[in-house]
């Protein structure tokens, strides 16, 4: 992975990139029950991007607090605001994907709607993009107003992920990142179900750069990540970038079989020494050996099932209930984003 840092802006640009000029920037944000925030989010983004041609793709992730009405209001006053309404709550990562699917920009930036990711950082990210970087991720140097619990669990998660997964994830980088169109297209071609976007954006490679920032406290409302959502999210992250947990079963099988083999001479020695309980030794060995072999077999099957499981469930990632300021011909094709069912195909 090439990882540049903030100070690297202004380095010679790869001639293949030919220097970049921006026609349209897509700002993508998922919204789930954020009625108290939406307007403020809209005005902060508009102020931060003064003079930049941009569109805002806001995804209503099945909100039930009137956020949808607030979004419609914004969209009716400003055609740059495009709204994708999902049919129910699909979760942060899927909602983000829906937004990215609908983005038309040469560059796209994704951020949380709760203003924890300051939109004022976007122009600095754009400088990196113009200098030829394809994935620009914001790295939190400080996190304001977050509980010890959240900070500690985040730390545990990142160190576990480091140990298990094959991609190198920058600690404390959230989903606040900018992607060039080619990196975005690569990302969108990955239609896997367990989505861990920040790992996937690193996986696509290209030229990557980090921009440090201070993560603010939430502007209003409370976190939408419950403990169970956080657990599921970490499991998704690890399972989609590592097969280590499955390999653990194989390892365990070998360990236990080894124990059984060690037990054979021990039983013989005990027999010779005369301290011997009839039947005990042979039974223990048989149980350990069989148990070990079974675990190995389950482990190996698990390896395959894990891989098949990743692939076979051809479900749509999300379903769209409606779109505002997005003409039908600009909606992503059904096969990838899956809005209503295709003619002649039952769902």
Nearer to ligand UDP, 20 or 218 (CB): 218
Nearer to ligand UDP, 91 or 132 (CB): 91
Distance in angstroms (rounded) separating the CA atoms of residues 141 and 213: 6
Binding mask 110-149 for Mg ion (x = CB under 5 A): --x-x-x---------------------------------
Measured over the CA atoms of residue 213, residue 219, residue 225 and residue 227, the dihedral's sign is positive
Provide the residue count of the chain.
347
Nearer to ligand UDP, 37 or 136 (CB): 37
CB of 172 to ligand UDP, least distance (A): 12
Closest by alpha carbon to 319, among 121, 143, 90, 135?
A: 90
Check residue 27 for interaction with ligand UDP (CB under 6 A). no
Check residue 89 for interaction with ligand UDP (CB under 6 A). yes
Neighbours of 150 (CB within 10 A): 14
Check residue 113 for interaction with ligand UDP (CB under 6 A). yes
Closest by alpha carbon to 166, among 93, 232, 247, 240?
A: 240
Provide the Cα torsion 288, 289, 293, 299; round to 10°: 30
Contact predicate 211/131, CB 8 Å: no
Contact stretch for ligand UDP (CB under 6 A) within 112-120, 188-196, 277-285, 294-302? 112-120
Check residue 117 for interaction with ligand UDP (CB under 6 A). no
Residue entry with tokens 């976190």: 223
Check residue 33 for interaction with Mg ion (CB under 5 A). no
**DSSP assignment, residue 131?**
T
| β-strand partners of 136 | 178, 209
Binding mask 222-241 for ligand UDP (x = CB under 6 A): -xxx----------------
Nearer to ligand UDP, 31 or 197 (CB): 31
CB of 308 to ligand UDP, least distance (A): 28
- CA triple 101-204-96, angle to 5 deg: 30
Check residue 32 for interaction with ligand UDP (CB under 6 A). yes
Residue entry with tokens 């990302």: 187
Distance in angstroms (rounded) separating the CA atoms of residues 202 and 341: 33
Check residue 68 for interaction with ligand UDP (CB under 6 A). no
Nearer to ligand UDP, 101 or 106 (CB): 101
Contact predicate 131/13, CB 8 Å: yes
Contact stretch for ligand UDP (CB under 6 A) within 10-18, 24-32, 235-243, 276-284? 24-32
Contact stretch for Mg ion (CB under 5 A) within 75-83, 109-117, 205-213, 296-304? 109-117
Query: Which residues make up the interface to ligand UDP (CB under 6 A)?
Result: 30-32, 34, 61, 89, 91-92, 95, 112-114, 116, 223-225
Query: Which residues make up the interface to Mg ion (CB under 5 A)?
Result: 112, 114, 116
């Amino acid at each position: 992975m090439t990882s540049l840092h903030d100070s690297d802006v202004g380095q010679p640009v790869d001639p293949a990139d030919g220097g970049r000029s921006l026609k349209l920037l897509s700002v993508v944000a998922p919204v789930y029950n954020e009625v108290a925030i939406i307007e403020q989010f809209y005005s902060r983004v508009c102020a931060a991007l003064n003079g930049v041609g941009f569109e805002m793709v806001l995804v209503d992730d099945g909100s039930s607090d009137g956020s949808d009405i607030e979004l419609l209001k914004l969209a009716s006053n400003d055609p740059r605001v495009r709204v994708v309404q999902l049919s129910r709550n699909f979760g942060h990562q899927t909602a983000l994907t829906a937004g990215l699917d609908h983005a038309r920009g040469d560059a796209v930036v994704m951020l949380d709607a709760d203003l924890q990711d300051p939109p004022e950082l976007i122009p600095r990210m754009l400088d990196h993009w113009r200098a030829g970087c394809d994935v620009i991720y914001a790295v939190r140097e400080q996190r304001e107003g977050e509980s010890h619990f959240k900070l500690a669990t985040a730390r545990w998660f990142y160190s576990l992920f480091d140990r298990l997964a094959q991609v190198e994830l920058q600690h404390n980088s959230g989903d606040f990142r900018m992607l060039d169109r080619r990196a975005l297209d690569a990302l969108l071609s990955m239609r896997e179900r367990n989505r861990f976007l920040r790992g996937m954006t690193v996986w696509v490679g290209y030229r990557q750069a980090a921009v440090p920032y201070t993560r603010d406290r939430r502007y209003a409302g409370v976190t939408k990540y419950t403990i169970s959502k956080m657990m599921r999210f970490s499991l998704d992250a690890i399972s989609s970038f590592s097969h280590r947990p499955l390999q653990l079963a194989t390892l365990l099988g070998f360990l236990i079989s080894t124990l059984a083999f060690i037990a054979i001479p021990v039983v013989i020695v005990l027999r010779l020494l005369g301290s011997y309980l009839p039947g005990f030794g042979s039974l223990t060995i048989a149980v350990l050996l069989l148990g070990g072999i079974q675990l190995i077999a389950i482990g190996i099957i698990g390896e395959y099932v894990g891989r098949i499981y990743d692939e076979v469930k051809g479900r749509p990632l999300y379903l769209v209930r409606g779109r505002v300021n997005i003409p039908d011909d600009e909606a992503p094709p059904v096969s990838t984003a899956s809005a209503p069912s295709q003619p002649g195909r039952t769902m």
